[in-house]
Amino acid sequence: MTDDSPTRPVLRLKPKADARRTRHGHPWVFVDDVVADRRSRAIAPGTIAVLEDAERAPLATVAVNMDSRIAARVLSRDPGAEIDAAFVAARLRTALAHRERMFDAPFYRLVHAEADGMPGVVIDRFGDAAVVQPNAAWADVLADDIATALVELGLTHVLLNASGRARSMEGLSDETRWLRGGVEGAIPVPMNGATYMADLTGGQKTGIFYDQRPNHAFVARLAEGAKVLDLFSHVGGFGLAALAGGAISALAVDGSAPALALAEEGAAKMARTADFATRKGDAFDVMTALGEAAETFDIVVADPPAFAPAKPALTAGLRAYERVARLAAPLVSPGGYLTLCSCSHAAELSKFRASCIRGIGRAGREAQLIHTGFAGADHPVHPQLAESGYLKALTFRLLD
């Protein structure tokens, strides 16, 4: 799709809206900040438009979706920029250049939405396959151009993953489909010396969580000779990394039987089946049961789903993180390590840390905070968008 019509639609800010946000680089314009008249309401979702300030001065080229809370996503601060296949290809080449510099194998997040100049778009790479999540209407319209650009970069298989809350909030369909090629079965993913199995079509999100790569590596450094408990493990994220780091055993706990089956397959490819066990169940229930049985581990990791995906859920989410810490802390042997993670962007670092410390204290444990981790370099943070820096991982040493 090209965008070469002589007159683009115009979306205008209300007089009270702060145009400086856009001028300073913020990539979103909320629906409450734009003039929602008959003309703007008639703009089809995904349409490319010019954003103007209240005095009609052009600010940027934006993608519009008046049915979304985010009415406009800034694609370029050049009001005359063309948004077409060439634009998509250029953004992907720029993103790829950074990843190829950082990683020696083609397994990483290739595009991290706004931070890579492609608002709402997530692309994870698995060798010659890619999973694209076009979570904004403009990218859904340009999905075929994205697939073509990926093939031009050397990939063979491109899956459009249409699952997730973000697409439903944009009013987009939930049809997952192959745009190019197709892969059957899970793909082995080498990372931090471990092997993970990524189910691109049936797994959570894109099949694996690349964002935890540096935090897996940190835990692996602590793991020599350790007995490890990996809670909310998905496909064995921390547990398999710990085995690669020299752990003597790892127990993975998750509510998904398919995810645990993939974790077991990964352990088998590492020739560590005998040292790897799984337990299907609610992590809170399992922690309670392990505590009642007086079980302890040298390393305990809890990497739960987002308990506070948005501000309305923040209070309940922080209580949930505190409860995780309170139940997990007694399972750590004296001198052992507890890693607690949050992927909730609404629970910013200081609040998440306070909840974890409160939970550890309520468990009667004394702790040192020895490391604070974030997402890897393939998940860059947009300087104007705190939501792009969502991941936090706190590692404590429990002294008593």
The answer to whether 161 and 131 have CB atoms below 8 angstroms apart is yes
Q: Is the dihedral of CA 317, 321, 322, 328 positive or negative?
A: positive
Backbone angles phi, psi at 297, to 5 degrees: -140, 155
The answer to whether 121 and 133 have CB atoms below 8 angstroms apart is yes
Q: Do domains 10-76 and 187-398 have the same CATH topology?
A: no
What letter represents residue 35's amino acid?
A: V
Residue-wise burial string across 161-198, b where 16 or more C-beta atoms lie within 10 A, e elsewhere = bbebebbeebebeeeeeebbeebeebbebebbebbbbb
According to DSSP, the β-strands at 187-191 and 47-52 are: unpaired
**237-244 and 257-269 helices cross at what angle (nearest 10)?**
10
Q: Is the dihedral of CA 204, 206, 208, 213 positive or negative?
A: negative
For residue 250, the cross-strand partners are 228, 276
Superfamily of domain 10-76: PUA domain (2.30.130.10)
For residue 227, the cross-strand partners are 249
Determine whether 343 is an active site residue. yes
Question: Cα–chain-centroid distance for residue 252?
Answer: 21
Burial class (CB in 10 A: 0-12, 13-18, 19+), 334: exposed
Spatial CA neighbour of 35 closest among 67, 71, 63: 71
Q: Which CATH architecture has domain 187-398?
A: 3-Layer(aba) Sandwich (3.40)
How does pLDDT run along the chain (400 residues), one tens digit per residue?
444 445 899 999 999 999 999 999 999 999 999 999 999 999 999 999 999 999 999 999 999 999 999 999 999 999 999 999 999 999 999 999 999 999 999 999 999 999 999 999 999 999 999 999 999 999 999 999 999 999 999 999 999 999 877 888 788 888 999 999 999 999 999 999 999 999 999 877 788 999 999 999 999 999 999 999 999 999 999 999 999 999 999 999 999 999 999 999 999 999 999 999 999 999 999 999 999 999 999 999 999 999 988 889 999 999 999 999 999 999 999 999 999 999 998 999 999 999 999 999 999 999 999 999 999 999 999 999 988 999 999 999 999 8
The answer to whether 297 and 331 have CB atoms below 8 angstroms apart is yes
Confidence at residue 7, expressed as pLDDT on a 0 to 100 scale: 83
Confidence at residue 293, expressed as pLDDT on a 0 to 100 scale: 98
Burial class (CB in 10 A: 0-12, 13-18, 19+), 79: middle
Give the residue extent of every domain in the chain: 10-76, 85-180, 187-398
The answer to whether 127 and 106 have CB atoms below 8 angstroms apart is yes
Residue-wise burial string across 15-42, b where 16 or more C-beta atoms lie within 10 A, e elsewhere = eebebebbeeebbbbeeebbbeeeebee
Superfamily of domain 85-180: RNA methyltransferase domain (HRMD) like (3.30.750.80)
Confidence at residue 170, expressed as pLDDT on a 0 to 100 scale: 83
Determine how many CB atoms are found less than 10 A away from the CB of residue 285: 12
Residue-wise burial string across 82-121, b where 16 or more C-beta atoms lie within 10 A, e elsewhere = ebebebbbebbeebbeebeeebeebbbbbbbbbbbbbbbb
**237-244 and 213-221 helices cross at what angle (nearest 10)?**
40
Distance CA 62, CA 77 (A): 8
From residue 306, give the alpha-carbon distance in Å to each of 114, 232, 310, 390, 395: 20, 11, 9, 10, 18
pTM of the model: 0.94
Residue 188 is encoded by which pair of tokens? Answer: 């082995």
Residue 287 is encoded by which pair of tokens? Answer: 């922690």
Among residues 63, 318, 343, 360, the one annotated as catalytic is 343
Spatial CA neighbour of 343 closest among 295, 287, 391: 391
The answer to whether 380 and 325 have CB atoms below 8 angstroms apart is no
Q: What is the CA radius of gyration of the chain?
A: 23
Residue showing tokens 């793909």: 187
Residue 251 is encoded by which pair of tokens? Answer: 């127990």
